[in-house]
Structure 1
């Protein structure tokens, strides 16, 4: 396995000073890679980021959630086109950083919907993802579909839905991105989804996040079901720690994810504790 940490554990922007702090801190805490927040890929300086990653021997992935103006599941052709451009920009970011996965809510907007997805909207989403996957394949990049709770998307809320969507897209490099925070809300248990995704050959990326978004092991996620399941299926991909607090503010994502409380103030201690937690439960000794 490779262990990663979300950039918003460290910083809310990606200036040179913030990028250096986040990447240095990630390496110091013993992680293999950092997951970049690519809500607007144009705001990330690729050359500067690549240099810092190389300096500290880290890899990178990138994740994003689309917004209302870039929702590829919309019926509005202009909005779908804008979402397509945003996703291809994010893909090129991953490619230029030498990464191998783009993940997140890349199939719809990351917000609360007030009605089910339409047939036309779903078809638009799948068409864009198929095209994105084709270009990603040329660079050896996979697309991880992060299914989320019902308050953040109306397309994919469970592993079962995600596997069905992937089958309809019909591209080998599209995989399921499991996130324990969302699974804790929507799945019946934490073991069966892991086995289902692995059994389909589509377990491609994992976020470990606590039920309250704070330190691992201090909430209600059934780690005793989820983590042994990863070992049971011999998962050897990326496991990224994701945690949010109002201590670190992103200009768009913090509000989208409703990060209103200070669940922690010391990101260094938080990251080190999460790395120990992952080592204890997932590393083979």
Structure 2
């Protein structure tokens, strides 16, 4: 349980609005998110070297919006690789992400920071796991000076072979010896966890629950799929979770070529970004505020 009650932050993933992060796209995503009353926007660092952090920070300040950043690795920069050269490239990419997130004034760096977002053909090897542990300890140290919180997302078996449950993530974080948070996502919890309550309590009891994604089982409108949001939100209230709760949804209406393919976004679950986001805000506010 949190030691001091802080206001829970409702957030929105930028890919609800845009598929890139040009100045025009950033302005649209940030202004639209703020206009609907969200507290923060999650900016995906699809290529950290191309993200204009200073421009993003000006827009965030202009619209009074907070920010978090997320990142996924590609096969040439996979810190769970057995190849030290690939791991080194992965750390370089993670370092670029820290710099971009810090420059825009983000509070959190989250996501699958420890492997490629993909179905691996075999179980994780001991050597690969050792590279993950070393790299996540390195990342925590690299981010510490920037004031960024680093949170590792627990995702399903089809998107990583490193960890798929909260319990396993807590073991991994413990092995790093670093101050890393757990990032839970209802979409993945619905597939892998024993219900929507146990994982929350595991992360909270360990003092590690620091970031939450809320997504439906089909990635569309909240409440139209199979995720038990009433139980999940009631559990967050019970443990007095105080941190970001970010709505994440994907449709072929908004496409980033690389990430959309990685996430298998093959169908059009929604067409109207504003209606989707407005619905999510009302849905979450009713259950969490």
Return the alpha-carbon distance in structure 2 between the equivalents of residues 121 and 249 of structure 1: 32
Return the alpha-carbon distance in structure 2 between the equivalents of residues 148 and 105 of structure 1: 8
* 8 Å CA contact 1:67, 1:111 repeated in 2: no
* 8 Å CA contact 2:119, 2:157 repeated in 1: yes
Match of 1:63 in 2: 70
RMSD, matched Cα: 0.8
Secondary structure, counterpart of 1:61 in structure 2: strand
Q: How does 1:77-156 map to 2 (within 5 A)?
A: 77-156=84-163
Could you tell me how far 1:251 is from its partner in structure 2?
2.0
Name which of 216, 222, 231 aligns with 1:225. Answer: 231
Return the alpha-carbon distance in structure 1 between the equivalents of residues 178 and 69 of structure 2: 20
* 8 Å CA contact 2:230, 2:287 repeated in 1: no
Secondary structure, counterpart of 1:62 in structure 2: strand
Q: How does 1:165-244 map to 2 (within 5 A)?
A: 165-172=172-179, 174-244=180-250
CA displacement, residues 118-150 of structure 1 (integer Å, 9 cap, x when unaligned): 111111111111011012122221111101110
Match of 1:41 in 2: 48
Match of 1:28 in 2: 35
1:4 aligns with 2:11: yes
Name which of 268, 273, 285 aligns with 2:274. Answer: 268
Return the alpha-carbon distance in structure 2 between the equivalents of residues 16 and 221 of structure 1: 35
Shift >4 Å, 4+ stretches: none
Secondary structure, counterpart of 1:3 in structure 2: strand
CA displacement, residues 2-34 of structure 1 (integer Å, 9 cap, x when unaligned): 111001000001111111110110001111111
Name which of 60, 69, 75 aligns with 1:53. Answer: 60
Match of 2:4 in 1: none
Return the alpha-carbon distance in structure 2 between the equivalents of residues 252 and 69 of structure 1: 14
* 8 Å CA contact 2:52, 2:100 repeated in 1: no
Return the alpha-carbon distance in structure 2 between the equivalents of residues 276 and 182 of structure 1: 22
Return the alpha-carbon distance in structure 2 between the equivalents of residues 91 and 100 of structure 1: 11
* 8 Å CA contact 2:211, 2:243 repeated in 1: yes
